[in-house]
C-alpha cells in the first residue's frame, strides 16, 4: 500500500469515526429533536451546519470543475447560489421561523388551510429532494472510486451506509452537530490546497488575490489562461458563450431555487428565537463566502496546471495521478493519430482555421476526455502537493456530499412521517410511532437516493441545478406569496405549484432523458436551457396562482390575520 493510500485511509477513517461518534452522542429521543434538533441550537453552530448543508458536493467537487471548463460562463453558479442564499436569509428565514412549523409542507398546509395543499407540497419536496440527493450520492461515489480504489457503484453503497447510520439514528439533532464537524473538515480541505497552489503559481498566499495576480513568470494568471485556451481552440477563459437570456434564467433559477430548498429552510427552525435565525443566517453566509470566493481561483489553478501538465505529453511520460484516475474511467485517452502523445484541443466547435492547422500538425481529433467533476479532487495531485493534502481533499469531498445528503434525507423522511402520516393519514399516531415512521422513511429514502446516485442524469452541479429549478418553480411562489400576499388562497397556491412543477420537470425530462440529442440552444424555448427553465416555471406559477386566486374566494379572516402576524417577526 502506498503512502498516499495510507494517508487517505487514516484521515477519511478519522472523520467517519467522528461523524458516527457525534451521531451516537446526539441521538434524537423525541420528534422535536428528530425534526428540528429540539430548537435549541446556538446561532454559530447553526450557521456552520447550514453552510455544510448548503455547500454540497456541487459546491465542493463540481462547481470549480465546471468553472475550470466553462470559464466565464460558470459564473452563473457563483452568482445564483450566493445571491440565492442572501434572498433566503432576508426574505424567508425569519418569517418562516416566526410561523414556527417544522417543515415547508407544514407551512403550506397551515397557510393555505388545505390538506391538498400540504400533500402537493409534500410531492414537491420529494421531487426536489430526490433530484438534489442524486447529485450528492454521485459525488460520494466519485470520491470513493478514486481514493478508496473501488468502483463508483461500490462508493455510492458505502456512502449510503454512512448516511443511513447518522441520519436515521440522530435525526436533525445528530445531523446538526455532525454538519458542524463536516463544515470544519470541508472548508479546511478546500482552502489548504488552494493556498498551496496559489503560492506555487503566483507567490500569493491568499487564493482570491492570487486569482487576479501575476504568475511567477510575470504574466497575469487569467491572461495566461486565456492564451492557453485559445491556443487549443477553446473560447478565451474570460469570455462567455452563453446568451444573456440563458445566463439570466439560470442565475435566477438558482437564486429563487435556493430560497425554496426545504432542507435549508428547515435549518432556521433549529434555533431558539427569530433573532437567532437572522444571526445564524449571517454566520452561514460568512462561512459560505470563504469557499465561494475561493472556487474561481481553484478553477483557474486547476485548468492552468492540467493544460501545462498533459497537453503534448507522451503517454508513457504522464504523471502517476493520470494513470490512477484513468483506472476509474473518469479520464480517458485515445491515441487517434498513433503518435503516443496526448492531443487535448477543441475539435468540435473550434475556429475553422485552428482545426485546419491542427490537421496539418497530424492531429486526428481530441484524444483526452475528462470528467469535470474530478478537477477539484485531482487538483492537489496535478500540482504535486503532499500526500496528506490529497487525503484531506478526499475527506472534504465526502464531508460536503454526506452533509447535504443527510439534510435532504431528513426532509424526505419528515415530509412522509410528519406531513403525510401524522397530518393526513393517521393524526392520532403516538410520538413514538411518528419517530419510528420518520426513521423507516429515512431508511427507504437512503435506498432510493442510492439508486439515483448509481444512475445520475448529469454532472453533479448540473443535477443540483435541476433540483433548484424544481424548487424555484414549485415552492418559492407559494412561500413568498404566503408571507407577503394575504389575498393568496388555497386554490391559487395549489394550481400554481402543480403547473410550475409539471412544466419544469417535463422540460428537463424531455431534454435530458427522452431526447438528449436535441439538448442544444437552437431547440430550447426562448433559448433557455434545462438548467434555467425553473425561472420560467416560477413565472408560470406566479401567474396561475394570482389569476386563479382573483376568481375564487378570499382566505378566511383568521388566515389573513396569521399572515399579518408572520410579517412582523420581532418577538421570540
pLDDT in tens, 172-192: 666 778 888 889 999 999 999
| Cα 460 to Cα 534: distance, rounded to the nearest angstrom | 18
| Cα 370 to Cα 390: distance, rounded to the nearest angstrom | 19
Q: Which domains does the chain have, with CATH numbers?
A: 3-306+376-566 (1.20.1730.10), 308-371 (no CATH)
3-state class (DSSP) for residue 369: strand
Among 50, 10, 552, smallest CA distance to 283 is for 50
The pLDDT > 70 percentage for the chain reads: 91
Q: What phi, psi does 314 have (nearest 5°)?
A: -65, 135
How would residue 569 be classed by pLDDT, with cut points 50, 70 and 90?
very low
Q: Calculate the average pLDDT of the chain.
A: 83
What DSSP state is assigned to residue 520? Answer: S
- Tens digit of pLDDT for each residue in 463-494? 666 777 888 898 889 989 998 899 999 999 99
pLDDT for res 571: 47
- Tens digit of pLDDT for each residue in 75-117? 888 888 788 878 877 777 778 777 776 667 888 888 998 888 8
- Tens digit of pLDDT for each residue in 367-408? 898 888 888 888 898 888 998 998 898 888 888 877 777 777
Q: Where are the alpha helices (DSSP H) in 374-459?
A: 375-382, 387-414, 431-454
Cell of 384: 504535486
| Cα 233 to Cα 243: distance, rounded to the nearest angstrom | 20
Amino acid at each position: 500500500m502506498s503512502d498516499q493510500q495510507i494517508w487517505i485511509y487514516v484521515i477519511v477513517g478519522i472523520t467517519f469515526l467522528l461523524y458516527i461518534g457525534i451521531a451516537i452522542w446526539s441521538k434524537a429521543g423525541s420528534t422535536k429533536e428528530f425534526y428540528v434538533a429540539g430548537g435549541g441550537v446556538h446561532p454559530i453552530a447553526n450557521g456552520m451546519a447550514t453552510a455544510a448543508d448548503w455547500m454540497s458536493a456541487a459546491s465542493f467537487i463540481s462547481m470549480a470543475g465546471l468553472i475550470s471548463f466553462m470559464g466565464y460562463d460558470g459564473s452563473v453558479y457563483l452568482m445564483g447560489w450566493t445571491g440565492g442564499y442572501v434572498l433566503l436569509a432576508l426574505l424567508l428565514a425569519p418569517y418562516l421561523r416566526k410561523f414556527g412549523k417544522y417543515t415547508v409542507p407544514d407551512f403550506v398546509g397551515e397557510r393555505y388551510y388545505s390538506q391538498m395543499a400540504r400533500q402537493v407540497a409534500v410531492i414537491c419536496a420529494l421531487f426536489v429532494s430526490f433530484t438534489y440527493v442524486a447529485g450528492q450520492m454521485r459525488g460520494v461515489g466519485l470520491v470513493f472510486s478514486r481514493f478508496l480504489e473501488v468502483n463508483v457503484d461500490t462508493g455510492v453503497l458505502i456512502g449510503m451506509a454512512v448516511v443511513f447510520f447518522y441520519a436515521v439514528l440522530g435525526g436533525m439533532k445528530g445531523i446538526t452537530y455532525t454538519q458542524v464537524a463536516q463544515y470544519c473538515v470541508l472548508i479546511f480541505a478546500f482552502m489548504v490546497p488552494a493556498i498551496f497552489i496559489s503560492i506555487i503559481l503566483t507567490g500569493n498566499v491568499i487564493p482570491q488575490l492570487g486569482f487576479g495576480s501575476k504568475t511567477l513568470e510575470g504574466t497575469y494568471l487569467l491572461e495566461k489562461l486565456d492564451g492557453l485556451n485559445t491556443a487549443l481552440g477553446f473560447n478565451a477563459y474570460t469570455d462567455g458563450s452563453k446568451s444573456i437570456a440563458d445566463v439570466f434564467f439560470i442565475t435566477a433559477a438558482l437564486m429563487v431555487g435556493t430560497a425554496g430548498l426545504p432542507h435549508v429552510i428547515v435549518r432556521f427552525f433549529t434555533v431558539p428565537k427569530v433573532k437567532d435565525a437572522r444571526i445564524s443566517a449571517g454566520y452561514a453566509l460568512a462561512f459560505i463566502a470563504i469557499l465561494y470566493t475561493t472556487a474561481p481561483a481553484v478553477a483557474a489553478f486547476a485548468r492552468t496546471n492540467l493544460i501545462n501538465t498533459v497537453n503534448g505529453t507522451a503517454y508513457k511520460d504522464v504523471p502517476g495521478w493520470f494513470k490512477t484516475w484513468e483506472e476509474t474511467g473518469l479520464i480517458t485517452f485515445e491515441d487517434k493519430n498513433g503518435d503516443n502523445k496526448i492531443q487535448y484541443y477543441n475539435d468540435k466547435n473550434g475556429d475553422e482555421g485552428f482545426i485546419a492547422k491542427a490537421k496539418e500538425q497530424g492531429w486526428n481529433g481530441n484524444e483526452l476526455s475528462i470528467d469535470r467533476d474530478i478537477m477539484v479532487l485531482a487538483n492537489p495531485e496535478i500540482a504535486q502537493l503532499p500526500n496528506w493534502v490529497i487525503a484531506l481533499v478526499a475527506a472534504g469531498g465526502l464531508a460536503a456530499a454526506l452533509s447535504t445528503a443527510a439534510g435532504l434525507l431528513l426532509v424526505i423522511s419528515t415530509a412522509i412521517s410528519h406531513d403525510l402520516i401524522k397530518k393526513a393519514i393517521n393524526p392520532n399516531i403516538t410520538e413514538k410511532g411518528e419517530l419510528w415512521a420518520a426513521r423507516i422513511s429515512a431508511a427507504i429514502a437512503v435506498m432510493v437516493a442510492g439508486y439515483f446516485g448509481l444512475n445520475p442524469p448529469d454532472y453533479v452541479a448540473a443535477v443540483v441545478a435541476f433540483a433548484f429549478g424544481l424548487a424555484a418553480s414549485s415552492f418559492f411562489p407559494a412561500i413568498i406569496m404566503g408571507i407577503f400576499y394575504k389575498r393568496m388562497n388555497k386554490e391559487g397556491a395549489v394550481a400554481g405549484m402543480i403547473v410550475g412543477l409539471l412544466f419544469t420537470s417535463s422540460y428537463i425530462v424531455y431534454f435530458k432523458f427522452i431526447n438528449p440529442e436535441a439538448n442544444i440552444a437552437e431547440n430550447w424555448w426562448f433559448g433557455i436551457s434545462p438548467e434555467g427553465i425553473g425561472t420560467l416555471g416560477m413565472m408560470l406559477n406566479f401567474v396561475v396562482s394570482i389569476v386563479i386566486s382573483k376568481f375564487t374566494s378570499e382566505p378566511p379572516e383568521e388566515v389573513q390575520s396569521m399572515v399579518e402576524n408572520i410579517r412582523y417577526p420581532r418577538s421570540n
